[in-house]
Chains A and B, each alone.
Chain A
């Protein structure tokens, strides 16, 4: 029996019955990491002794038998979520030496649920990127093809889950950073509704867009992990006080009678034909399962990338201002504070982060604010209204997650704009504050790379989104295919 290939729900049953211990599961995953991570490079930091000690404590306290939802399940954490006593580098040199003095809300939730916190996964620096190439730790590889990137920015988390180096993982999604790598690595990635999961302890990239969410091997795990992460947190004023349902409850209902919207702006030339064919086939599958397909328009879609790169960079320019060498992380001394800031930030940030800080600073500058930031906020409202209107006509919207499958490392590194377009289908969801999941829906014909289907729901529509995802998943066998490592 291979423990590391199991899902949360499979392991949970075995752990509850006492067939395996948390220590055995953790050891199995650690062994898998030791075997394949030198190739995949999903992890930035790992403390096997600490992980095993956590597992032993869980076994000792009998947490699995007490019904703790994640008892004994090893979960990998994206390297921008604070875990007390562990580094939190955000894949940046500027956080060199920083040890988190506190737990993020989601970490508190995971500990409460009995999870084993495995280690920290690679990402694009400060979550800025779509390939996990912008990392001070080096490039993470796609388990399906080691020459290719895993997507990003939560590429380490997605690769770890796809390579069975973790049972599940946490990522963060500002413009697609959970869903796009999930699509490229063939796993399930959910971006919850803005406010559903507390951001307290998540190092902010763009505060009005960021959400933490699960990366898992199947839809049921996604529902289980979301249930553990979600909830109101008084320390995050934007978290919403709304009851957390059991997201697996609606699974049995299927999709019969549900209206599935197909927005024409998401089925366009420029998308890899293999991807669009895979997504169209998936929609037909949903139709055959009893769903009604509705044609839609989301007319302001074309502005989403521009709006996103103004709002996200503006917020980032302020959020990243605190990395100055005064209190923590890297410091390069100078003769006066300004010189110290220049040297510290010059040495600490990578080129993409600098590019975005400059962009955001510019968008907020006197004389440009109205034309850029304020205008972007207005268009953001229009994009949100597009979705409100669309959800009058349908229950969920389906689109491709990414216009292409995984590309080769270095292929787009020289062309930031081309890289920004990787997120063209995922960005609007963050701008509108709604939820969406990416699930596997096939493989490209020649390269045999995973393709992602994106299912979008209205605010707090996670139950419906997961129900549709689950129905599709159960009617296909994509989830059973694993990369050959």
Chain B
């Protein structure tokens, strides 16, 4: 029998705000435990929440980027359950009136077609604390408690692990581009629950849903689904029932295991949060947020290909990081060779940054300097090979390429007489290669070219070297 997979994803995204969702505590990652806390986020008796408007604006921005309907009136609810990471033993969330409804994320399929994964809703809530377990005790760090957390719920329209991977990658790219979140998975800023079921193709009803909880890498989601789907299909093939349950993914063993079964399903007893007033999104607020709308990654990718004549791969690499794309466009603005700039950015620049463990924001080479370097190469002032040497120096010192060339005497030799002298010397010193060439081994000329470049210490204009060598060798 042929089976079809149905996947819906719930993605939790920590918003990039200065303060927490309902109090003024700082949000920086990595502080000592319980140093970014106050009576509100510790759930002390008598404390009360005050809504962070910045978090609401970021969620509305995310909604606009994802094509959602923005609810002009939404409200807060209490979600009740007991757990030591919950300061109040209820979480302030949005139940039946979320901030954003509908919308979707476009993903590219293997066959090059685009598929839209629909969104059910986006709502805002507060994050919980972080539990740590020691030998005989447990600890709770409330620094994370109360961070603004946005939950993006997809429709069950994802049909394979690869689609899930593409959906999460695209969603992350969009949210980062809007500065909604850094989506840094190592810091737990993007976490995902997967709802997955299988059914025989043609069957209308969904199969029994299994939830895989707390995935914190995008590739982990793909691996977990790649394990879980065949497991479910095999069970159905053996006429076994798939129990409705929550499972956890173990990356080390590469398997999902049962966390809890349906008998332990919570009754969250949602009811409207009486300590907060409903959220009203006004026309004026919406107009302000619209001004912040960035170009969406896919649109930008298309524009880069169209406007700068880049191949899809280069455009993809540049657009994946909004800051990198901005850097590229600044450099291109002062250059006549967008393709060459793209090559430099995606290979040399990214390589050096990775080596130095720096971000693009910390790049010592300013965009106009890179444009200048490309212009120097294109103008024949230096060779591409020397260009790499110059770039390394630019990255190390922050100096401009013309200064470096002058200081190091790297200007390319385009003086025919000087090159002829190097060529003559190379021919004189390598009679065997000359003989090989004349015997019809055309590759021998490359060796001679290399010898000329060596004699010129790399500064000879390679094109002129080739021309002159050929003339001399073919000549009488």
| Contact A201 B46, CB 8 Å, known A326-B84, A337-B83, A341-B82 | yes
B27-68 vs A: 1/0 string, CB under 8 Å? 000000000000100111111111100000000000000000
| Contact A207 B47, CB 8 Å, known A321-B88, A322-B87 | no
Instruction: Decide yes or no whether B204 CB sits under 8 A from chain A.
Output: no
Q: Show 5 residue pairs from A and B whose CB-CB distance is below 8 angstroms, ordered by the A residue.
A: A102-B47, A204-B45, A238-B277, A322-B43, A337-B82
> What 6 additional pairs, Cβ within 8 angstroms, besides A200-B48, A321-B90, A328-B45?
A88-B45, A101-B39, A236-B275, A321-B89, A327-B43, A365-B269
A363-405 vs B: 1/0 string, CB under 8 Å? 0111001000100000000000000000000000000000000
Q: Which secondary structure dominates where chain A touches chain B? A: loop
Instruction: Decide yes or no whether A121 CB sits under 8 A from chain B.
Output: no
Q: Which residues of B contact A284 (CB under 8 A)?
A: none
Instruction: Decide yes or no whether B140 CB sits under 8 A from chain A.
Output: yes
Q: Which residues of B contact A323 (CB under 8 A)?
A: 45
* A98–B45 touching, CB < 8 Å: yes
Taking CB atoms and an 8 Å cut-off, the chain A residues in 175-204 that contact chain B are 199-204
* B45–A203 touching, CB < 8 Å: yes
Q: Which residues of A contact B199 (CB under 8 A)?
A: none
**For the complex, what is the distance from the CA of A328 to the CA of B43, rounded to whole Å?**
10
Instruction: Decide yes or no whether B12 CB sits under 8 A from chain A.
Output: no
B23, closest chain A residue (CB): A235
A75-87 vs B: 1/0 string, CB under 8 Å? 0000011100000
* A88–B274 touching, CB < 8 Å: no
| Contact A236 B269, CB 8 Å, known A101-B39, A321-B88, A327-B87 | no
- Number of A-B residue pairs, CB cutoff 8 Å, is 99
**For the complex, what is the distance from the CA of A22 to the CA of B36, rounded to whole Å?**
40
Q: Which residues of A contact B276 (CB under 8 A)?
A: 237-238
**For the complex, what is the distance from the CA of A364 to the CA of B87, rounded to whole Å?**
20
A204, closest chain B residue (CB): B46
Q: Which secondary structure dominates where chain B touches chain A? A: loop
A54-92 vs B: 1/0 string, CB under 8 Å? 000000000000000000000000001110000010100
Taking CB atoms and an 8 Å cut-off, the chain A residues in 389-427 that contact chain B are none
Instruction: Decide yes or no whether A338 CB sits under 8 A from chain B.
Output: yes
* A237–B50 touching, CB < 8 Å: yes
**For the complex, what is the distance from the CA of A57 to the CA of B83, rounded to whole Å?**
45
* Min distance, Cβ A75 to any Cβ of chain B, angstroms: 18
B276, closest chain A residue (CB): A237
Instruction: Decide yes or no whether B267 CB sits under 8 A from chain A.
Output: yes
Taking CB atoms and an 8 Å cut-off, the chain A residues in 193-232 that contact chain B are 199-204, 206-208
Instruction: Decide yes or no whether B80 CB sits under 8 A from chain A.
Output: yes
Instruction: Decide yes or no whether B16 CB sits under 8 A from chain A.
Output: no
Determine which of A81, A238, A328 lies in contact with B44 in the assembled complex, contact meaning CB atoms within 8 Å.
Answer: A328
Q: Which of B82, B140, B270 has the most CB of A within 10 A?
A: B82
Q: Which residues of A contact B78 (CB under 8 A)?
A: 318
Q: Which residues of B contact A369 (CB under 8 A)?
A: 269, 271
Q: Which residues of B contact A327 (CB under 8 A)?
A: 42-44, 87
* A324–B89 touching, CB < 8 Å: yes
A313-338 vs B: 1/0 string, CB under 8 Å? 01101100111101110000000011
* B48–A364 touching, CB < 8 Å: no
- Give A contacts to B, CB under 8 Å: 80-82, 88, 90, 95, 98, 100-102, 104, 199-204, 206-208, 234-238, 314-315, 317-318, 321-324, 326-328, 337-338, 341, 361, 364-366, 369, 373
* Min distance, Cβ A371 to any Cβ of chain B, angstroms: 14
Q: Which residues of A contact B89 (CB under 8 A)?
A: 318, 321-322, 324
Q: Which residues of A contact B47 (CB under 8 A)?
A: 102, 200-201
A104, closest chain B residue (CB): B46
Q: Which residues of A contact B82 (CB under 8 A)?
A: 321, 324, 337-338, 341
* A322–B275 touching, CB < 8 Å: no
Q: Which residues of A contact B88 (CB under 8 A)?
A: 318, 321-322
Q: Which residues of A contact B84 (CB under 8 A)?
A: 324, 326, 337
B237-277 vs A: 1/0 string, CB under 8 Å? 00000000000000000000000000000010111001111
* B275–A238 touching, CB < 8 Å: yes
* A373–B271 touching, CB < 8 Å: yes
B142, closest chain A residue (CB): A327
Closest 7 CB pairs of A and B: A321-B89, A207-B274, A364-B269, A208-B274, A203-B45, A201-B46, A322-B43
Q: Which residues of A contact B274 (CB under 8 A)?
A: 206-208, 238, 315
Q: Which residues of B contact A326 (CB under 8 A)?
A: 84, 140
Q: Which residues of A contact B275 (CB under 8 A)?
A: 204, 207, 236-238
Q: Which residues of B contact A315 (CB under 8 A)?
A: 271, 274
Q: Which residues of A contact B269 (CB under 8 A)?
A: 317-318, 361, 364-366, 369
